[in-house]
Chains A and B, each alone.
Chain A
């Protein structure tokens, strides 16, 4: 059982480049989320989805887009990378009334 998978694990971008962070889960979870974690801080919610076709903004959505065309996949798109987006990105999934949120291994992104 793969759980939550994220690709890539590491990425270096130049300012202005765009890219997509991939996230997939095989647990048939309705809820999926994207967080960023900056050094010495907790996780901040970027975007989330409560089901296929439904997405909403979290605490820090600017500069990011998401879509949820299937239950399994929830990609995060960086439109025009900025150094302020250097961070570790976590994807997570859970059932509707979660007693646990399952995390992917994270993507470490550096924008130069």
Chain B
């Protein structure tokens, strides 16, 4: 069963606008973690932000924040004031203990293109 869903295959956003990338997940494990990674055209995987299921506050890292809605099982990434360098693939991933012994399960990704 698919556990991570990213419904936006691609997005075009004007530079300096805010961007929300969607991610929904499915797990019955009360303890889990959610990750966002950026993959630029050069191919490396760059960690952006992490949200634990028991974290009291939504995670923030600089221009990145995570809109964590536990009841809806969503963990959307928000990028404020987008820049041309934000153009990349963005992946949402989840860690739980159910099937994968704490290994990450990945969404299919969203390709973000920032327009000047």
A101 touches B44 (CB 8 A): no
Contact with B along A93-105 (1 / 0, CB 8 A): 0001111111101
Contact with B along A71-100 (1 / 0, CB 8 A): 000000000000000001010100011111
Which secondary structure dominates where chain A touches chain B? strand
B13 at interface (Cβ–Cβ under 8 A)?
Answer: no
Interface centre among A98, A99, A106 (most CB of B within 10 A): A99
Task: State how many residues of chain B have any CB contact under 8 Å with chain A.
Answer: 23
Within 8 Å by CB of A58, from B4, B33, B95, B100, lies: B100
B103 touches A33 (CB 8 A): yes
Contacting residues, chain A, for B107 (C-beta < 8 A): 42
Contact with A along B77-116 (1 / 0, CB 8 A): 0000000000000010101000011111111110000000
Which secondary structure dominates where chain B touches chain A? strand
A101 touches B104 (CB 8 A): yes
A101 touches B47 (CB 8 A): yes
Tell whether A105 pairs with B43 under 8 Å between CB atoms, given A45-B100, A58-B103: yes
Task: State how many residues of chain A have any CB contact under 8 Å with chain B.
Answer: 27
A109 at interface (Cβ–Cβ under 8 A)?
Answer: no
CB nearest to A48 among chain B residues: B103
Cα A31 to Cα B36 in complex, Å, equals 19
A19 at interface (Cβ–Cβ under 8 A)?
Answer: no
B52 at interface (Cβ–Cβ under 8 A)?
Answer: yes
Cα A35 to Cα B55 in complex, Å, equals 28
Which residues from chain B sit less than 8 Å from chain A, CB to CB?
Answer: 4, 33, 35, 37, 43-45, 47, 50, 52, 91, 93, 95, 100-109
Nearest 4 Cβ contacts at the A-B interface: A42-B106, A103-B45, A43-B106, A99-B50
